[in-house]
Structure 1
Amino acid sequence: MQQRAVETRQLILEAAAEVFDEGGYKAARISEIMHRAGITQGALYFHFSSKLDLARTVMLAQRDSVVLPPGPDGLQRLIDTTLLLAHELQTNKLLRAGVRLAVEQEEVGFHDDSPYREWAEVFRGQLAAAAERGQLRSGVDVERLAMLLVGCYTGVQHFSKLSCKRADLPDRIADLWQYMLLGIAPPQVAADMIVSTEAPLLAAG
């Protein structure tokens, strides 16, 4: 029974992600989520107290919906992570819905910056490793740079979504790194970094 409950909850999250991703929070209907999940109203409300509770859970699940690329911690793994996210945002409905709800959350009715802070912590960890390996310029503040990178990434992906439904997002993130590397890494380190927009290369590590 416990396993069934876990599976039902995941079905609800995936169905909700589809609906929230397609039309946003306000247009989403609980009846449509129930239909796509193939569950009853009672089953849905057993796991989630309201549409708002469900939306917040989807938003907070975005980090867990992505497996980070392999490789040693540092600047290259950070670059690979952001490019992998670009590809995931083209296909991963749970991630896409979580990102959309995070951007629209003031319209939804909650205020929670934890999704941004979680990604900032992921980025900070890789930047800290990069600093230890001498991959960053002297004076780079990894905490502030991590927050800046999250802000830049949020803006770039949102612009790409509006302009072409994220079809060019990997290219735009690659452009972001081509310019950012000039400011944060020593010249030889920047030259050694691989900024590839090809998903199979990222999967291969």
Structure 2
Amino acid sequence: MAQPQQARSIKTRRTILEAAGALFGAIGYAATTTEMIIERSGVPRGTMYFHFPSKEAVADAIVAAEADVIVPPVRRLKLQSLIALTYRYADVLMHDPVLQGLVRLSVDRVQPSHGEPWRTAHRSLTELIRAAAENGELLPSVEPERFATVLQSAFTGVQLSSQVSTNRKDLPERVTDMWRYLLPGVAIPGLLPSLSLPDLPD
């Protein structure tokens, strides 16, 4: 169990990341200043610089925060795990300013390191799709890396259009529409009735 001082430090760090994530997500990395992060987070200037010496350091911490989100939920079918992962990501994206900031950083790519979440997610998707193929769940024509690229691009477009239209309030419904059009082109026909849409987080 974390000691009181350590717990406060973790909470303060999270407060700073949430403030920065909200700003990055709303106006982008380039337009966000350290002063804006300090003001939005409400932490003293010295505390801010104790945890993060620069705006770049804050962004790096946000980039590193994706790992827990892209762990696929366990399902009997690998393709169902892939579906569940997209709903889980959508659910967190709707409520977590840190992930919202990370997505904007990945899209804008002002710094080379900001593209790492995109590459990490692509590798994770490819591995899961490859497992589904090895399990006999996909059509023989499906190439895991190419499908991962298509899925990642489709999800990015879906979440961006949802953000513009409804501030992501309808994101789960848009993810469902995405899968309804994608699945017939990748899953073996006999598997389709066994796949659940939506597959929402517990």
Aligned partner of 1:202: which letter?
L
Aligned partner of 2:160: which letter?
H
Moved more, 11-20 or 179-188: 11-20
Equivalent residues in 2 for 1:106-185, closer than 5 Å = 106=110, 109-110=111-112, 112-185=114-187
Taking the aligned partners of 2:120 and 2:48, their CA distance within structure 1 comes to 27
- The answer as to whether partners of 2:69 and 2:89 remain within 8 angstroms in 1 is no
The CA deviation string for residues 81-121 of structure 1, in whole angstroms up to 9 with x for no partner, is 11222222211111111112222234xx5464211111112
- The answer as to whether partners of 1:21 and 1:97 remain within 8 angstroms in 2 is yes
Taking the aligned partners of 1:87 and 1:6, their CA distance within structure 2 comes to 23
Query: How many residues are matched?
Result: 198
Moved more, 181-190 or 27-36: 27-36
Length-normalised TM-score, structure 2? 0.83
Change (3 A) 1:68 1:34: farther
Equivalent residues in 2 for 1:9-88, closer than 5 Å = 9-64=13-68, 68-72=72-76, 74-88=78-92
Taking the aligned partners of 2:72 and 2:40, their CA distance within structure 1 comes to 29
- The answer as to whether partners of 1:73 and 1:129 remain within 8 angstroms in 2 is no
Task: Give 1:41 deviation, angstroms.
Answer: 2.0
Identity of aligned residues (%): 36
Equivalent residues in 2 for 1:88-107, closer than 5 Å = 88-106=92-110
Task: Give 1:43 deviation, angstroms.
Answer: 2.4
Taking the aligned partners of 1:49 and 1:73, their CA distance within structure 2 comes to 45
Moved more, 152-161 or 2-11: 2-11
The CA deviation string for residues 119-175 of structure 1, in whole angstroms up to 9 with x for no partner, is 112212221221122101113211221122111211221122112212222122111
Task: Give the equivalent residue in structure 1 for 2:200.
Answer: 202
Moved more, 180-189 or 138-147: 138-147
SS at match of 2:126: helix
Length-normalised TM-score, structure 1? 0.82
- The answer as to whether partners of 1:65 and 1:94 remain within 8 angstroms in 2 is no
Task: Give 1:76 deviation, angstroms.
Answer: 0.2
**CA RMSD between the two structures:** 2.4
Task: Give 1:29 deviation, angstroms.
Answer: 3.6
The CA deviation string for residues 154-200 of structure 1, in whole angstroms up to 9 with x for no partner, is 1221122112212222122111111111111111112221111xxxx
